[in-house]
Structure formats: structure tokens, C-alpha cells
């Protein structure tokens, strides 16, 4: 599984990196960024879904890769 953040949608709410700092981080302006190219390690799929469902802007996309 892979996650990505749509920079057009992200408004910097920060829930993604607050909830799942292993998968997301923030840039200098507080906008979300993925870590490790967005690859979700085994066992962290649930955390990825939690982050995606908590983003108020629905800016987090998940894909099966
Ligand atoms: Fe951006 Fe959503 Fe995270 S708005 S900072 S991707 S919670």
C-alpha cells in the first residue's frame, strides 16, 4: 500500500502527522508530506486508513501497490 497527499487539497490541518508520525511529516509551513515515498510498511495499513479518514480535506489518497 502507498499513500500520497494531494498538495492542491492539503490545508495543513496536521491530523495526518499527529496521528501517524511514522507515515507522515510536515514541511516548513505545516503542510503534510509522506515519509519513505509513501510506502506503508506491513502492519501499518490500519494507521494509514485512520489518517486518511481524519483528513478534513480528504487530501490523502491510498493505492494498492
Ligand atoms: Fe494536510 Fe490533511 Fe494532513 S489537510 S496536513 S493532509 S490532515
Reported ipTM: the value is: 0.98
Asked if pLDDT for residue 65 goes beyond 80, the answer is no
What is each CA distance from 8 to 4, 5, 13, 45, 58, in whole angstroms?
Answer: 12, 9, 13, 24, 11
Query: pLDDT tens across 39-56, in order?
Result: 999 999 999 999 999 999
Side-chain half-sphere CA neighbours of 32 within 13 A: 34
Q: Is 51 in the pocket of ligand 1 (CB under 6 A)?
A: no
Domains of the chain: 2-63 (3.30.70.20)
Q: Is 15 in the pocket of ligand 1 (CB under 6 A)?
A: yes
Helix, strand, or coil (residue 2): strand
Query: How far apart, in whole angstroms, are the C-alpha atoms of residue 51 and residue 36?
Result: 16
- Indicate which residue's Cα is closest to atom 1 of ligand 1: 10
Query: Cα–chain-centroid distance for residue 21?
Result: 9
DSSP category for residue 40: P
**pTM higher than 0.80, yes or no?**
yes
Amino acid at each position: 500500500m502507498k499513500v500520497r497527499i494531494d498538495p492542491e487539497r492539503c490545508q495543513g490541518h496536521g491530523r495526518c502527522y499527529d496521528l501517524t508520525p511514522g507515515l507522515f511529516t510536515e514541511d516548513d509551513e505545516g503542510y503534510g508530506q509522506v515519509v519513505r515515498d509513501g510506502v506503508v510498511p506491513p502492519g501499518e495499513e490500519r494507521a494509514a486508513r485512520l489518517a486518511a479518514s481524519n483528513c478534513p480535506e480528504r487530501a490523502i489518497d491510498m493505492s494498492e501497490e
